[in-house]
């Protein structure tokens, strides 16, 4: 696969490009879902969106396995702080 400058992409760069594309596709379908007015259209978009999430998950898992997308585990304190932060934000809105 060639990049926009005509250079060949290696496997990691190709995977990163695919993952970025999947994220953009998921964002576009999510926006489309919010704008849909009929239940039948919403169901169709949800079905497509579900498939795109599966593709994104498979790409991420493959990249993570190869060490191309490492992820740190969060400790329990950070998780509790984040939950509290978002709970406070929801309470402030509601």
For residue 32, pLDDT beyond 70:
yes
Residue 41 has a pLDDT of: 96
Measured between alpha carbons, how far is 81 from 19 in angstroms, rounded to an integer?
Answer: 29
pLDDT in tens, 63-81: 999 999 999 888 999 899 9
Token pair belonging to 40: 């039948």
DSSP code at position 5: T
C-alpha 23, offset from chain centre: 5
Query: Could you tell me the pTM of the whole model?
Result: 0.72
Nearest CA among 31, 23, 33, 32 for reference residue 53:
23
């Amino acid at each position: 696969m060639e990049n926009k400058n005509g250079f060949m992409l290696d496997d990691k760069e190709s995977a990163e490009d695919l993952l970025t594309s999947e994220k953009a596709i998921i964002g576009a379908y999510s926006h489309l879902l919010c704008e849909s007015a009929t239940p039948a259209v919403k169901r169709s978009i949800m079905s497509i969106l579900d498939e795109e999430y599966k593709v994104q998950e498979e790409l991420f898992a493959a990249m993570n396995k190869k060490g191309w997308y490492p992820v740190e585990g969060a400790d329990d304190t950070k998780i509790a702080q984040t939950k509290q932060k978002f709970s406070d934000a929801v309470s402030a809105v509601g």
